[in-house]
Amino acid sequence: MSMSGIAIATQRLDLFYGDFQALTAIDLQVPEREVTALIGPSGCGKSTLLRVFNRMNDLIDGVRVSGRVLVGDEDIYAPGADLLRLREKVGMVFQRPNPFPLTVFDNIAFGLAVHKLAPRREYDMIVEQALRDVLLWDDLKDKLQRSALTLSLEQQQRLCIARVLPLKPQVLLMDEPCSALDPIATLHIEELMQKLKQEYTIVIVTHNMQQAARASDRTGFMYLGKLIEFGTTARIFTQPAQELTENYISGRFG
């Protein structure tokens, strides 16, 4: 946690896939303990930007990054940066619910075991807390040894959120976390985000503009790899400064 109240900051961030420039000169400051939404048409670079923050783009061959990205006070692209530690600090929830084919309990204990964060006798307590945090405890307390794949999609997605919490991350990245869910489940996840932002900084990528308007405090609009406009959600959706932003949120393209 930094003194400035800024969880993530990028400075003149460029990203290339081979010869293709996917992000151009991104300057962004994500405030702590708020929900920040990244919106924009498909291919605008919003998911790529999200994957910069935990360096998941590193898995793709031929990715090059220039500029600076600070998570807390740490330059995460500095030579010798600790990737495993970074991903402990910055958790990620994916588009499709993707629990491991293990029990509910083992899914949540996975991160604990990998990072040896706690002695095994504390696992019960930590797993319970993680499930309480995502409001799954009452539903699942008698089903901890069931396969996670027997849960409903919404429960699976909540479980995937719960899975990153034992690592005590500072930031939660969510890559279209509701796109596989029905409208009711979507609202539930959005409510959950409001609860979680009291403790975590959340960055969400969404193609659903209503979702950004409902659930986020700040919104960044991206187009063709550039961050066109960034500001409070209320202002972006009522008084966008850029014509492009206005055209997008009023549904004239996208």
Partner 1 sequence: MSARLAQKIAFAVLLLATLLVVFPVIIILGIIVAKGASAISWEFLFSMPRDGMTAGGIFPAILGTLYLVLGAVLFAVPLGVLAAVYLVEYSSDNWFSRLVKLAIVNLAGVPSVVYGLFGLGIFVTFFRFGASILSGSLTLGIMILPVIITSAREALESVPRHFRTVSLSLGASHWQTIRHSVLPHALPGILTGMILGLGRAAGETAPILFTVAAFYLPRLPQSVFDQTMALPYHLYVISTQVPGIAENVRYGTALVLLTLVLLLNLAAILLRSRFRRKKKW
Binding site for partner 1 (CB under 8 A): 54, 56, 59, 61, 84-88, 91-92, 94, 96, 98, 100-101, 110-111, 113-115, 147, 149, 160, 163-164, 167
With respect to partner 1, which residue has the nearer C-beta, 85 or 141? 85
With respect to partner 1, which residue has the nearer C-beta, 178 or 227? 178
Name the strands in the sheet holding 90-93, side by side, starting at the edge strand that comes first in the sequence: 90-93, 171-175, 201-205, 35-39, 218-223, 226-232
Q: Could you tell me the smallest distance in angstroms from the CB atom of residue 107 to partner 1?
A: 10
Q: Could you tell me the smallest distance in angstroms from the CB atom of residue 98 to partner 1?
A: 5
Q: Could you tell me the smallest distance in angstroms from the CB atom of residue 203 to partner 1?
A: 14
Helix, strand, coil content of the chain in percent (nearest 5): 40, 25, 35
Q: Could you tell me the smallest distance in angstroms from the CB atom of residue 55 to partner 1?
A: 10
What's the sign of the alpha-carbon dihedral 139, 145, 151, 153?
A: positive
With respect to partner 1, which residue has the nearer C-beta, 169 or 220? 169
Q: DSSP secondary structure string, 128-164?
A: HHHHHHTT-HHHHTT-TTSBGGGS-HHHHHHHHHHHH
User: Is-contact 158 130, C-beta < 8 A?
Assistant: no
Q: Residue 250 and residue 136: Cα distance in Å, rounded?
A: 37
User: Is-contact 129 168, C-beta < 8 A?
Assistant: no
Q: Could you tell me the smallest distance in angstroms from the CB atom of residue 111 to partner 1?
A: 5
User: Is-contact 26 67, C-beta < 8 A?
Assistant: yes
With respect to partner 1, which residue has the nearer C-beta, 59 or 184? 59
With respect to partner 1, which residue has the nearer C-beta, 162 or 236? 162
